[in-house]
Structure 1
Amino acid sequence: MRRRNEKTSPHQPQILKQMNKRLILQTIRRRQPVSRAEIAEETAISRTTVSQLTEELLREGWIREVGQGVSGAKGGRKPITLSINDDAAWAVGVDIGGYGTTIALCNLAGQIKQKRTFPSSRTSMLDTLGEQLDRFLSQVDPGVRIIGLGIGAPGITRASDGVVLSAPALGWTDVPLKRLLEERLRLPVYVDNDVNVAALGECWKGAGKDKRNVIMITVGTGIGCGLILNGTLYRGSGWAAGEIGSMVTDADAVDRWTDPVFDGFGFLESKAGGPGIVRQVLGQMEKAGPSSPLRRDNGRLTAKEVFDAARKGDPLAKSVVSQSIRHLAAGIINAVVLFDPEVVILGGGLMGSADLVLPKIREAVKRLSPTQPEIRRAQLGSDAGVIGGAALVLKECSDPIGGVL
């Protein structure tokens, strides 16, 4: 019995209604096509309430009737079944990279309807991004309901208020990206680290689908890591969880290493990131034979060319690639031991050489880790960030569909 001095908040009925609508939507998404009776049975919400709320969701366009289900054991009329209306609303995913940025319009099933890619600008990225978003949104059908933008930024990002604390690739420090874009676009904006967002994309539509404990590691210019633990992004106390590029994979380096490839880059990035691999080769060029494919008149070299040379048997390239993979394997094993994931997803530019990388990583994890997660290559490629951006919106937005992923 409620005590006399206790008061019922006038907002409680509305909050309960919103919670029930989301629970119904979650059930429909997971079980579709599904009948009202099945929803009531699974959610323990009364049939009357399920009927009322599904009628409301139908009027709002979030769900649709898709046909008849199977009759019960006692026969009778077949029930009408319900499914999510994938085109009821759309989310914009934005993947900001150091060299290029992609914007995409995705529906509730993660299908891309429109997409645009443009070069990133270190000197004027905020203005460039705003202008490109204005142009992109102006070309979207006016009848489309956009519920928000989800943005992956290449750096440490405080997701609670959308401030990019540090993004060396863009020269950003403490940039209030969420506030600036919401003021400009008049739409809800959600911002997170780019690898976190890519991990959401892979868990929704790619290599992590139906998994609740996932590590995603991207290896390119830098090395990033997104952690999804028990179905939730783990961001850390300072929003810097997953900065695996700073992991030290050589005990001697604890005392003597002070030489990052770029300012703000860590030890593992200096050994296994693309620029780090190139620098190691250039630093040992005296070991390359006169006919080595690594030799360049202008000194320019890419990590891809180093891996290509390793495939052809070049001794220097093989040595550097082998050492880099060992460092990467050590970092992955340490992460696996700490978080015990179901799957480790590897993405980024280095996966263009997956034929050389994956077998050695898998062998090392099998031999040295007490647990044996799957080691998979990312499936969504360059679309992981924008699909993940849409997933971020669907997890965080205040519309009824929010939180159903």
Structure 2
Amino acid sequence: MGRLTGTDPSLLRRINSAVVLHALRAATAAGRGTGTGRPGSVDEAEKPGAATLTDLVGATGLSRPTVEGVVEGLIAGGLVTEVPADVETRRQGRPARRFRFRAEAGHLLGVEVGPHRVAALLSDLDGRMKGSAQRAVTVDAPAEERLERVRTTVADLLRRSGVARDSLRAVGVATPGIVEADGTVRLCTALPGWTGLPLGERLGRSFRCPVLVENDANAAAVAEHWQGAATGTGDVVFVLAGLSPGAGSLIAGRLHRGFGGAAGEIGALHLLGQEAAPEEVLSTTGEPLHPLDEEQVARVFALAREGDDRAREAVSRFMRRLVHDVATLVLALDPEVVVVGGWAAGLDGVLAPLQEELARYCLRPPEVIQSLLGEAAVATGALRLALDHVEEELFAVEGTVTARRTRSR
């Protein structure tokens, strides 16, 4: 990349464009209604707001000719449109020209690829939900079958939503495992054939836009910080509670992945002295629990509530393991909040003991709360990562003076 200077005209144009577009987007959003746009609901926005050239001059500090030139360029690029004046305004004289950001100019996808299902969320460029879809998949499905399930789920969602595939600006994908920066799954024990899979590359063949791959617990942490239980909280640990728990963490509002993307893999902690596998921890017979699935584990918890001694001991072992794993992260990171999600979060008797036991182990016990997004958390986080990528492309001036990254991390 050539050297840029403070007088480089392309840099100045990029800065001015980002500043004006950001102001227009804020003005447009300010005029919308109170629809939540949350996952699972397809809220249509109220009439969006708009800004005049005078408004934009005041908001950006740029000269009027500069703002006018930038706006015309953004209109030509399809990101901005002029808002026609209503009849009453026209009667009062020549109205000022008004403009708005076109959130409908592109779309984003958030995709969850999990052991039991594939789920997808579709939004506009403001992150407002336009549709959702999901399809079941078996735990033992081979990699090719799972990839095909992703393709058919996305195709169905786009068709039902009336959105063209070439309208997509970015696709976020969240999956179990340790994910490399290029979207390759370095290690995954939850999905057959997933270890070593170049997931970003494989799915990228289906789209003409960037495909960003992230660990599922990391994505869920991002989602809870964006629209869930941890909104407004900077230091967060999200626990994807299950047979082999995973965790994602945000430090000062930024996702922490670690040097190799393996931060939060607390499911491996039992290898450091607690060798019992999950199927042994949850056994009520002395033999490994089989099949090891959510239904079986829920049955163990139900038996414990009914007073079965062996089931109560199994649940106690499960809780000790979960507390041990979570306390390790809490002691290292000192989060304000621990959000518990995943299927195990819905089992009676998980959150309260976790809160109590963390108070015993941790110097400053965090608040322990349940996920507000539930099963939508992972796909929502994948969507947020796609939105982050597009926002960086559209609004981040820093992108003009540094080499672009191959992946939005």
TM-score range, shorter chain: 0.7 to 0.9
Q: 2:185 aligns with which of 164, 189, 194?
A: 164
Gaps (5+ residues) in structure 2? Answer: 32-48, 86-95, 398-409
Confirm or deny that 1:338 pairs with 2:360.
no
Confirm or deny that 1:225 pairs with 2:225.
no
How far apart in 1 are the matches of 2:67 and 2:362?
Answer: 47
How far apart in 2 are the matches of 1:105 and 1:237?
Answer: 31
Residue aligning to 1:281: 284
| TM-score normalized by the length of structure 2 | 0.73
Residue aligning to 1:106: 123
Does the 8 Å CA contact 1:340/1:371 hold for their aligned counterparts? yes
How far apart in 1 are the matches of 2:58 and 2:235?
Answer: 28
Q: 1:390 aligns with which of 376, 383, 389?
A: 383
Residue aligning to 2:364: 371
Residue aligning to 1:206: 228
Confirm or deny that 1:308 pairs with 2:302.
yes
Q: Offset of 1:319 from its aligned partner?
A: 1.8
Residue aligning to 2:150: 129
Q: Offset of 1:35 from its aligned partner?
A: 6.8
How far apart in 2 are the matches of 1:332 and 1:30?
Answer: 38
Residue aligning to 1:71: none
Cα gap change, 1:18/1:310 in structure 2, threshold over 3 Å: closer, same or farther? farther
Matched residue type, 1:307? F
Does the 8 Å CA contact 1:93/1:390 hold for their aligned counterparts? yes
- Give runs of aligned pairs for residues 316-327 of structure 1, distance below 5 A: 316-327=310-321
Matched residue type, 1:241? A
- Give runs of aligned pairs for residues 252-291 of structure 1, distance below 5 A: 254=272, 258=275, 261=277, 270=278, 275=279, 277-278=281-282, 280-283=283-286
List per-residue Cα deviations over 1:98-153 (Å, max 9, x = no partner). Answer: 12111221233442523232315325223443344345434441468322211001
* SS in structure 2 of the partner of residue 281 of structure 1: coil
How far apart in 2 are the matches of 1:334 and 1:396?
Answer: 31
Matched residue type, 2:259? S
Residue aligning to 1:46: 62
List per-residue Cα deviations over 1:251-308 (Å, max 9, x = no partner). Answer: xx74x6555x3xxxxxxxx3xxxx4543x323279xxxxxxxx9x9x99971101111
Confirm or deny that 1:348 pairs with 2:347.
no
Cα gap change, 1:299/1:132 in structure 2, threshold over 3 Å: closer, same or farther? closer
- Give runs of aligned pairs for residues 168-247 of structure 1, distance below 5 A: 168-170=189-191, 171-247=193-269
How far apart in 1 are the matches of 2:21 and 2:334?
Answer: 30
Q: Offset of 1:166 from its aligned partner?
A: 1.9
How far apart in 2 are the matches of 1:318 and 1:58?
Answer: 65
* SS in structure 2 of the partner of residue 211 of structure 1: coil
Matched residue type, 2:117? G
Q: Offset of 1:372 from its aligned partner?
A: 3.9
How far apart in 1 are the matches of 2:128 and 2:152?
Answer: 25
How far apart in 1 are the matches of 2:179 and 2:23?
Answer: 32
Over aligned residues, Cα RMSD in angstroms? Answer: 3.9
Gaps (5+ residues) in structure 1? Answer: 68-78, 262-269, 286-293
How far apart in 1 are the matches of 2:150 and 2:26?
Answer: 37
Amino-acid identity (%): 26
Cα gap change, 1:374/1:31 in structure 2, threshold over 3 Å: closer, same or farther? farther
List per-residue Cα deviations over 1:233-258 (Å, max 9, x = no partner). Answer: 1111111111111224xxxx74x655
Q: Offset of 1:339 from its aligned partner?
A: 1.3
How far apart in 2 are the matches of 1:27 and 1:372?
Answer: 38
Q: Offset of 1:51 from its aligned partner?
A: 6.7
